[in-house]
Each structure stands twice: as structure tokens, then as C-alpha cells.
Amino acid sequence: MSDTGEELGARLRERDLTAAPAVLNLVENRAPQQRGAIAALLAGVSPAALGAEAPGHLVGITGPPGSGKSSLLAQLVPAWRALQRSVAVLAVDPSSRRSGGALLGDRARIAVDATDAAVFVRSMAAGGRLGGLAPATRAAAQALAAAFDVVVVETVGVGQSETDIAEAADTVAVVVQPAAGDVLQFLKSGIMEIPDVLVVTKADLGAPAARSQHDLQASLRSLGAPDIPVLAVSSLAPPSGVGELVAALDEHRARIDVPARRLAARRASALADFSAEHGDRGLRALGGSRAATRLLAALDASLDVAALTEALEQAAR
């Protein structure tokens, strides 16, 4: 017999890492009859239930296809494990379930020790949101942060819709590869507003990687954001720059207001859940997305995602 939402929430509060597969199975089941169980799970890992924000570090890893995100994660996971941190990786497949999830096999490149119980890797569908996050992914990340030390959400960067990951994570690393024209593309698309850390992969290429790193640093200075670190990393054995990246991610989280960022993430998740369920018609009933955002901002900051979503639904009736 499967655990209820309440039981799964209790297991996560006890930092039972073996609850992760059941948690993912629940949040990915969007059948109407499961809404109550998902709500109970999210309530069980809310700040009110935990007495504080979930302790896990929510890390977003994004960047264009082929930039080396999966290879980078294959090095980051053992680096975190060497620090005795448990790690959950949610790799978002940009294709829909109806299309068969063509990129799911690509996730096999996130090579981890299958016998390590402190590492959990799962592919998730984007749910029709190209480059974005389905409500299930947001819910899974928030829930697993109660038990795991690090929760990574990996997405394929495709432009402005990547702001989804910025809303959901504590720290966002944007990954680019050298000599691929990514710098100008990011400047044009506005994605430079997203990263907390920029990562140039394939540093083993030498001069092209150094040039890209220099160009990004110059671009950030021109944008008035010189404090965003730009790191060059190689995932080839022996890897280089991975320890520095872990330190940069930690440093960013140490200086942000985590409760404020998490509150914004819960409100964004509630709006995403409401929109996924009710679409444009539901948003029009609220007066549009800006009106919905104002409504959420006026609600009690201690409310969990399910309660915030219910408040939107009541207002739309």
C-alpha cells in the first residue's frame, strides 16, 4: 500500500531519502483525485510544518542543448557527496509526454553511483512548457528540499521562458560552451538577468574557453553586474574548476534572503499550478496575471503552495 501525502511529508521531515521515488510518483500524478494528497504532502514540508524553510539548497542548472550540463552534473554530484551532502537531481525533459520524451535517454550521461542511497536522479517532463517547469517539477523540488542537502533542477535553456527556473531555485547557474555565440544570444534574449553564477564549460579547450570567460565578464561589467562570478570548468578527467563552482554556489546562497526567495517561489508555483489547471480563462477571471500576483502578495506569507492555489481558485469563482 502506498504512503499518503501526510505520510510522505512526515518521511521527508525525518529526512528519509528513500521517500523520494514515491514523492515523485505522487506529484507527477495530476489526476484530480490526487490533488488532496499532493496538497497534504506540500503542507507537510511547508515552513509552518518544518518550523523554518526547507534546509536543502535548490540549485537551477540551465543552458543551451549541448553546452555540457549533464557532464557537469556528473562531476558536481560526486563533489557534493565528498562533502557528505545528499543530492537529488531533477532533469527536465523538454519534450512532452505525448511525443515520447525523446531526450530522456540523454539523461543517462548524468553518471552517478547507483548504489549510493544519498543520490537520487529522475527525469521529468516539461509538461508542454518549452524550456519551463511543469507544476510537478516545482512541487518535487520544494518537497525534496526538506530531506536532501542539495536539490538540482536541470533544464534546457531556450530563452525568456527560462525565467521559470529563476523563480524556483535559490541559486541559478547558466552554463555556456565556448566559441558558440552564446554570449551575444544571452545578451539579446535577456537571459543575463537570470544567472547567479555563469559557467563556461570545456575549459580544457584552452584559449576559446578563456575568451568566452573574458567576454562574459566584460558583458556583466557593462550591464552593471560585475559581482556575478564567471567560472571556467572542465568535466574531462581529471576535472577542473568543479570545487570552485561548488564554493560559488554556496557563497551565493549564504548571502541571499532565503525565506524571501522561497516565498516568491511558492507564490510563483501557485500561479503556475492555477494557470496549468484553468488556463487563460482562469487568469482572465482574476483580472490577469498581474492582478493574480497582487492577490498572492496580499495573502499570509506562511501559506503553502496548495493553500495559495486554493485562494486563487476561490477568487476566480
Helix or strand (DSSP H, E) at 139: helix 135-144
User: Strand 119-125 and strand 150-156: pairing?
Assistant: unpaired
**pLDDT at position 127 over 70:** no
Amino acid at 297: A
Can you count the helices (H) and strands (E) in the chain? 13, 7
As given in the structure block, the three cell numbers for residue 104 are 530522456
**pLDDT at position 194 over 70:** yes
**pLDDT at position 161 over 60:** no
Q: What is the pLDDT of residue 132?
A: 59
The string of pLDDT tens digits covering residues 65-112 is 888 898 999 999 999 999 999 999 998 876 544 444 434 444 445 777
**pLDDT at position 22 over 80:** yes
**pLDDT at position 130 over 70:** no
What is the average pLDDT across 251-271? Answer: 93
Q: Could you tell me the pLDDT band of residue 160, with boundaries at 50, 70 and 90?
A: very low
User: 114-148 b/e with 16+ CB inside 10 Å = b?
Assistant: eeeebbbbbbbbbbebebbbbbbbbbbbbbbbbbb
Contact 128, 135 (CB under 8 A): no
Angstrom distance (rounded) from CA 11 to CA 70: 29
Q: What is the pLDDT of residue 96?
A: 47
The string of pLDDT tens digits covering residues 23-37 is 999 999 878 889 899
Q: What is the pLDDT of residue 260?
A: 94
Candidate from 104-108, 139-143, 307-311 with smallest mean pLDDT: 104-108
Mean pLDDT of the chain: 86
pTM score, whole prediction: 0.90
Q: Could you tell me the pLDDT band of residue 219, with boundaries at 50, 70 and 90?
A: confident
